Amino acid sequence: MILNINKKQYTVDIQGHETLAEVLRDTCGLTGTKMSCNEAECGACTVIINKKAVLSCITLAADVEGEEITTIEGLSDGDNLHPVQQAFLDHGAVQCGFCSPGMILASKALLDQNPKPDQNDIAYALDGNICRCGGYLKIFDAVRAAAEEKSSVKDKKV
Amino acid sequence: MNTDKKEYTNPVGKSVPRIDGRGLVTGQAKYTFDLKLPGMLIGKLLRSPHAHAKIISIDTSKAEKLPGVKAIITARDTHLIKFGSNEYFFPQTIDQMAIEADKVRYIGDEIAAVAAVDEETAQKALSLIDVRYEILPAVFDMTEAMKPGAPQIHDALNNIALILPVNFGNPDRALKESDYVREDIFYTQSAAHCAMEPHVCVGQFETFSNKITLWTSTQAPFKCRESLAKCLKMDLNNIRVIKLAVGGGFGGKLEMFPMDFAACLLSKKAAGLPVKITYTREEEFSFSRRKHNMIYKIKSGVKKDGTLTAITGEVIADGGAYCSYGPTVLAAAMMRIFMVYKIKNFKITGFRVYTNNPISGAIRGFGGVQSGFSVESHMDLLAEGIGMDPVEFRLKNITTPNMVTVNKIMLTTNGLKECIEKATRACDWKNKRGKLKHLCRGIGIGIAADVMGSKMYKAHESAGSIIKIEEDGSVYLFTGAADTGQGSNTALSQIAAEELGVSYTRIKCTAADTEITPFDTGSFASRVTFISGNATKNAATDAKKQILNIVAEEHKMNADELDIKAEQVINKKSSSVIMNFDKALELCYSFNYGRQIIGRGSYNPKTTPIDFRTGEGNVSGSYGFEAQVAEVEVNKETGQVKVLKMWDAHDVGKAINPQSCEGQIEGSITMGIGYTFYEDLKFKNGRVVNPNFANYRLPRSIGTVPIETIFVETNDPEGPFGAKGMGEASLLPTSAAIANAIQDAVGVRIKDLPITPDKILKALKEKDLMEKSKTKS
């Protein structure tokens, strides 16, 4: 079976019951995707599938063949961090970092759908992602900043 | 990171990006959770299903025959050695075996472990181990456990593992001479750490050298090594504990756990194949460590003018099946009061009680959360009793700079007064307190103090650092301090760069590996910035001196006349530049000199040992302070409380990294808000009934409360660049500040956490009835 992860083809030999989180981590070696509860309650395993934030711990790998899967490893462009990653770094939105891959991908998925989210939109989009270290204020700052960065880049292009 | 070096010279006081930040945001940081070694086996622990039972027999023969099983251990494979956390101060509390032999004392006690080729096989093997138990009567309520005739869990009389009597002055007389005396009883619940990375470890035995390497998600690698060596009966130098990135700890990863021991021993039995054990989230909630639920009885007296005359009381802590860090948690729950309030007459007795509940241990705040809620709620009630404003009442009774408390705590810098003044000014206390009742809104304050380290398992509390500077000018910092996400590697690197006079971008930080990095007792008691920071500063001073000696020799000057500032070696007097840092390093490693620059530093805080029979002693080299205000709105129809805003003024000494300091404060307050309203680890007959994030509620992004942080910088002369530790204090007064605000808003007092809508509604109803009966009579 072939999985399309971060625009690369991964040929994987998997069992039917294996979750995407397990396959990403154990078979593909993409350990940036974390697992903290393994029962769809914490958001640490969030990846993006076809532009939508999805919990990879309750997604069967076999179900996403042919879909476009983005993990945290696929977000930066070489040395250049994605604006959401950069904003998380700049705004101190990362402490232990274990929730960060999921949090960053959930934020990216939000911004792709809603480029100018208000505080409420951000809180609702991230409510499935637990951060235990720092609370959510700095994460909100980061997402807002990334949104501004994105819109200013767009303005420049226009 | 931007490599513009100028931007990152003199980094202390600047919010430089985290040294490990890029790894964390790109998913490249490696946690123990991510570790995979060739031939790695998966380990699982067999746990007692009974809360209290004798082990009659364990038969592993069927499990051993299961294909794929590589090793099984029971107590027969161990030296039956007990470990614990407070061996130095409380040897009687060393009470847990890594694998229990004769008796189990809670649902989850480890009695065997299996290593197999995969998780499924390991799990199946556990089910094939035949254990016969003789079930014993169990006790789950701490006050029941203290009664004569209660089931005996250890050899402790009335299941009291430890009594701590703290007694100063003449409290009985002082109470008699008081104008107003009141007694309150507060109840606080248990809670879970919920670090996002679960407890996880990989143990590997080297058959050719009889050496063990353990990678573990820990806050205290050296403490872990010590307990492992003890239980495995091995020399310290044959055990290497390595900490990778750690996904949070919050006090839950301060010890060696049976899993660490089992992974090492299983690997030995499996001919050296590495063994990985990972807790499930259910194991995290049910079998790791938890917060002590406490009963806090407190009776105090005051004079009409608001002077506190005496504080007395009794604290009972449900310790669960073993002691863990319980003794220090209990001590801290009682003795923090001395750092906050000037009090001469004091008598509180603490009881740390065994029950057949899961094991209570350290958790962020170390007993200070339970006592913070109790004491700070009580102080508001005392102020109310004499008709005094709670802020005025506190200002009258708080400790001051440069004072010695009745139990010989030496307070040096103390920004508590300034914290109270700044927090109350920021929140507009004068115009809000008592004046928003028509909106069902109120405002409340809580204050707290915290230590910068505390001797918990050794006679000393030292930290060490090594700094090597190579010929290309790269600065390598080696510290034993455990960054568990709080950002200590960043803060220590800032301190190193500041002291060396170079850019922060030069620093590379390695932490922690017991074979490579210097000894450090671990990340707890808000100690790392202060203690490990001082060690790092000393190492940088040493390295700098070595460089300056060589430059001075070359230029025939005296090294005392030189310094390094902003990447330049300068003449101190004239500020003229002699050479830049890179050139200086080239010189150090040149043909003529060829001297390696290796700085070393060590720091042990100036403290005096605490006498736990009396409570006397100076536990910390400095103390941190803070004041917190909550503004709330109560819905009288539903009983729901909305926290509108929190203000936190914090004496951090000096904010090494203001953004990280804010992160600590915001994280603490968020955790405190969760504990105040809904975090509640519940048990039924010793079993955790909500061992998952669906049923154990914790703060999520919806409902996030705005927080205003105010730094009070007292520049402690003993701290590195004036800094104090600050990772825990902001959690201590949160519950009380909120409870006090609720009282201000709607006039009801909640004395048992968590504050649920039901409790508010019940209290409102009772208040209504009282008022009605008053008007009738």
Identify the pLDDT of residue B4: 55
Specify if B237 maps to a domain: no
Is B34 in contact with A31 (Cβ distance < 8 A)?
yes
The reply to whether A104 and A61 lie within a common domain is no
B438 and B501 part of one domain = no
How remote is the C-alpha of B310 from its chain's centroid?
29
CB atoms near residue A9 (< 10 Å): 9
Q: Are residues A87 and A137 in the same domain?
A: yes
Q: Specify whether A70 is located in the same domain as A87.
A: no
Same domain, A92 and A110: yes
Q: State the pLDDT at residue A157.
A: 47
- The pLDDT tens digits for A32-87 are 999 999 999 999 999 999 999 999 999 999 999 999 999 999 999 989 999 999 99
Three-class SS of A98-147: CCHHHHHHHHHHHHHHCCCCCHHHHHHHCCCCCCCCCCCHHHHHHHHHHH
Cite the DSSP H helix spans in A47-99.
83-90
Buried-exposed string B736-753: b where 16+ CB fall within 10 A, e elsewhere: bbbbbbbbbbbebebbeb
- Per the CB < 8 A criterion, the answer to whether B657 and B494 are in contact is yes
Are residues A89 and A70 part of one domain? Answer: no
pLDDT of residue B225: 97
Do residues A8 and A66 share a domain? yes
Are residue B643 and residue B712 in the same domain, yes or no? yes
The gap between the terminal CA atoms of chain A, to the nearest Å, is 42
B562 and B626 together in one domain: no
Are residue B723 and residue B642 in the same domain, yes or no? yes
* Domain end position, chosen among B573, B603, B633: B603
CATH (domain of B745): 3.30.365.10
CA distance A43 to chain B (A): 10
Are A28 and A58 found together in one domain? yes
pLDDT of A156 higher than 70: no
**Which residues of A, range 2-21, sit inside 8 Å of B by Cβ?**
none
**Domain membership flag for residue B436:** yes
Contacts of B31 in chain A (CB under 8 A): 34, 98
Domain finish residue from B547, B578, B603: B603
Q: Measured between alpha carbons, how far is B561 from B581 in angstroms, rounded to an integer?
A: 16
Torsion of CA A8, A9, A12, A14, to 10 degrees: 80
* pLDDT score recorded for residue B459: 81
Q: From the centroid of its chain, how far is CA B261?
A: 23
* Cβ-Cβ contacts under 8 Å for B91 (sequence gap 6 or more): none
Cross-strand pairs, B112: B46, B74
ipTM: 0.97
The answer to whether B281 faces chain A, any CB pair under 8 Å, is: yes
- Give residues 77 to 106 of A whose Cβ lies within 8 Å of B: 81, 85-86, 88-92, 94-101, 104
B201's tokens: 């470890």
Task: Round to whole Å and give the CA distance between A56 and A71.
Answer: 10
Question: Comparing C-alpha atoms, which of B362, B361, B358 is closest to residue B47?
Answer: B358
- Does residue B479 share a domain with residue B449? no
Nearest-CA distance A109 → chain B (Å): 16
Q: What is the CA radius of gyration of chain B?
A: 27
Pair A68, A118 in one domain: no
Could you say which of B28, B662, B700 has the minimum Cβ distance to residue A127?
B700
Are A143 and A91 in a shared domain? yes
A93 and A70 both lie in a single domain: no
Together in a domain, B675 and B691: yes
Task: Find chain B residues with C-beta within 8 A of A85's C-beta.
Answer: 25-26
Q: Are B556 and B642 part of one and the same domain?
A: no
What is the secondary structure of B406-451 as a DSSP string?
TT--EE-S--HHHHHHHHHHHTTHHHHTTT-GGGTEEEEEEEEEEE
Report the residue from B30, B198, B704 with minimal CB separation from A135.
B704
How far apart (Å, rounded) are the C-alpha atoms in residues A45 and A128? 11
How many CB atoms within 10 Å of residue B685? 11
Do the beta carbons of residue B497 and residue B9 sit within 8 Å? yes
Backbone angles phi, psi at A72, to 5 degrees: -60, -30
Which stretches of B646-726 are DSSP H helices?
A: 658-677
Q: Which of B18, B487, B701 sits opposite A136 (nearest CB)?
A: B701
Q: Which DSSP string do the residues of B190-232 spell out, in sequence order?
A: ------SSPPEEEEEEETTTTEEEEEE--S-HHHHHHHHHHHH
Q: Which of A31, A41, A94 sits opposite B694 (nearest CB)?
A: A41
- Looking at the fold, whether B474 and B588 belong to one and the same domain comes out as yes
More confident residue, A89 or B458: A89
What is the domain count for chain B? 2
Contact A146, A81 (CB under 8 A): no
B669–A96 CB contact, under 8 Å: no
Cα torsion through B120, B125, B126, B128, rounded to 10: 130
Selection from B523, B41, B40, B44 nearest residue B283 by Cα? B44
For residue B221, give the amino acid letter: P
**DSSP state at residue B576:** -
A91 contacts in chain B (CB < 8 Å): 659
Question: Which residue in chain A is spatially nearest to B195 when comparing CA positions?
Answer: A132
Check if A31 contacts B (Cβ < 8 Å).
Answer: yes
> What's the one-letter identity of residue B522?
G
**Which site among B2, B24, B32, B283 would you substitute to test the A interface, given the most A Cβ atoms closer than 10 Å to its Cβ?**
B24
**Do B48 and A54 meet the contact criterion of CB atoms below 8 Å apart?**
no
Question: Is residue B527 situated within a structural domain?
Answer: yes
Two tokens, residue B373: 């809620």
Q: How many CA atoms lie within 13 A of B391 on its CB side?
A: 24
Between CA A82 and CA A108 the distance in angstroms is 9
Same domain flag for A117 and A69: no
One domain, residues B635 and B522: no
**CA–CA separation, B679 and B698 (whole Å):** 6
Give a yes or no: residue B747 inside a domain: yes
Are residues B480 and B599 both part of a single domain? yes
Domain range for B701: 416-455+620-770
Q: Is the pLDDT of residue A155 over 60?
A: no
Of A74, A91, A119, the one marking the end of a domain is A74
Q: What is the 3-state secondary structure (H, E, C) of B344-366?
A: CEEEEEEEEEECCCCCECCCCCC
Do B468 and B570 share a domain, yes or no?
yes
Q: What is the DSSP letter of A157?
A: H
Mean pLDDT per 10-residue segment, chain B (777 residues)? 68 97 98 98 98 98 98 98 90 95 98 98 98 98 98 97 96 98 98 98 96 98 97 97 98 97 98 98 98 98 98 98 96 95 98 98 97 98 98 98 97 98 98 98 97 83 97 97 97 98 97 97 95 98 98 97 97 96 98 97 92 88 97 98 98 98 98 98 98 98 97 98 96 98 98 98 97 85
pLDDT of residue A154: 59
Average pLDDT of every residue of chain A: 95
Stated as kind and residue range, the H or E segment containing B334 is helix B326-340
Q: What's the CATH code of the domain at A95? A: 1.10.150.120
**Is there a single domain that holds both residue B624 and residue B766?**
yes
Does B85 map to a domain? no
Of the three residues B570, B603, B636, the one that is the final residue of a domain is B603
CB contact B530 to A (< 8 Å):
no
User: Which pLDDT belongs to residue B353?
Assistant: 98
Q: Give the Å distances, CA to CA, from A127 to A32, A106, A124, B746.
A: 21, 10, 5, 30
Tell me the residues of chain A between 129 and 158 that have a Cβ less than 8 Å away from chain B: 129-140
In a mutational test of the B interface, the residue from A104, A118, A137 whose CB has the highest number of chain B CBs within 10 Å is: A137
pLDDT at A153 over 90: no
Chain A: give the shortest CA distance to residue B493, in Å: 16
Q: How far apart (Å, rounded) are the C-alpha atoms in residues B404 and B413?
A: 12
Question: What DSSP designation does A77 have?
Answer: B
A28 is in which domain, residue-wise? 2-74
Distances (CA, A) of B6 to B499, B506, B655: 15, 11, 20
| pLDDT value of position B1 | 41
Q: Decide which of A74, A99, A132 is a domain's last residue.
A: A74
Number of domains observed in the structure of chain A? 2
Q: How far apart are the CA of B285 and the nearest CA of chain A, in angstroms?
A: 11
Q: Are residues A66 and A88 in the same domain?
A: no
Name the one residue in this structure whose structure tokens are 């001051």. Answer: B400
The answer to whether residue B531 is domain-embedded is yes
Asked if B670 reaches chain A (Cβ–Cβ under 8 Å), the answer is yes
CATH code of the domain containing A18: 3.10.20.30
